[in-house]
Amino acid sequence: MTTDNYVIVTGATGAIGVEICRALCRKATPLLLACRNESKANNLIQRLRAEFPEAKLEFLSLDLADQRSIEQAAASLNGKSIAGLINNAGVMERNFRLNSDGREMDLSVNYFNTMNFTEQIIPMLSNGSAIVFTTSLTRFLHRRLPSEISVNESNFSQLGTYGLSKRLITDYASRLSASLAYRNIRVNCADPGIVDTGMITMKRWFDSIADLLFRPFIRKPAQGAEPALRAFAACDSGKIYCRRATHKMPAPLPEMPTIKPHI
């Protein structure tokens, strides 16, 4: 058991995640790197320790495509005091793919299991702590949502389904912001903008052209981490932190849509 107040960063090994961790290490924040790939996470811990010798860093095994991994991760935290949660992990699948629970992968990782993991962590969070969710401009592809959602091979699309997952997690964040106000837990979203990471590779014929003409002009991962860091440090709740501006989260839907598992 430890008395350190850890902040959990999911997807710490990703391009934006690394920069979030570096910035928090600079502030001597103890970190739990919640990642699916242990050797990648240990490699990152070594690199961060070389840069910040005093850093308190621990690995937390977490595969957001797997419900059991979420339960095991939460169980392994027993006794730790958690000072914050930065939900940064995310995927954008090229093709329709299911996880072991029969859920479409983008919805599973970016929405369903990010929500499940957060629900498991909330009881361990100290009052006055912060939760951040990572949204995306693609959420605007889904201004309205039906009460029942089903994603299958025929209606899946790379940007559309990814955007749906980000729209849903933004809605959940809005709901949570109101429900955790009594504990003074601040819940905000970060919208990184378009950032030069592996995530924006469309795995199509035009990637090499886009890499040449587009990538040099978009935000670097350290810049992409800024909205999450601002969202985490914010005194208020219920906001979406973007590149420059900050917006109020839209009011949550009257009811959370039902997501039908794929059969």
Q: Which stretch binds ligand NAP (CB under 6 A): 22-30, 146-154, 193-201, 234-242?
A: 193-201
Exactly one of 23, 200, 210, 234 binds ligand NAP (CB under 6 A); which one?
200
Question: Should residue 226 be labelled a site residue for ligand NAP when binding is judged by CB under 6 A?
Answer: no
Are 85 and 131 spatial neighbours (Cβ–Cβ below 8 Å)? yes
Count CB-CB contacts under 10 A for residue 166.
Answer: 27
Question: Should residue 98 be labelled a site residue for ligand NAP when binding is judged by CB under 6 A?
Answer: no
Q: How far is CA 87 from CA 76, 124, 190, in A?
A: 18, 15, 10
Count CB-CB contacts under 10 A for residue 130.
Answer: 21
Exactly one of 98, 122, 141, 194 binds ligand NAP (CB under 6 A); which one?
194
Exactly one of 29, 67, 118, 136 binds ligand NAP (CB under 6 A); which one?
136
Closest to ligand NAP by CB, 13 vs 177, is 13
Question: Should residue 40 be labelled a site residue for ligand NAP when binding is judged by CB under 6 A?
Answer: yes
- Between helix 113-121 and helix 158-179 the angle, nearest 10°, is 20
Question: Should residue 231 be labelled a site residue for ligand NAP when binding is judged by CB under 6 A?
Answer: no
Number of residues in contact with ligand NAP, rule: CB under 6 A? 28
Strand extents, DSSP E, 167-249: 186-190, 239-241, 246-248
Tell me the closest approach of the beta carbon of residue 191 to ligand NAP, in angstroms.
7
Report how far residue 136's alpha carbon sits from residue 144's, in angstroms, rounded to the nearest whole number: 16
Over its C-alpha atoms, the chain yields an Rg (Å, rounded) of 18
Q: For 229, list phi and psi in degrees, rounded to 5.
A: -70, -35
Question: Should residue 227 be labelled a site residue for ligand NAP when binding is judged by CB under 6 A?
Answer: no
Q: Which stretch binds ligand NAP (CB under 6 A): 1-9, 87-95, 116-124, 206-214?
A: 87-95
Site for ligand NAP, rule CB under 6 A: 11, 13-17, 35-37, 40, 62-65, 88-91, 109, 134, 136, 192, 194-195, 197-200
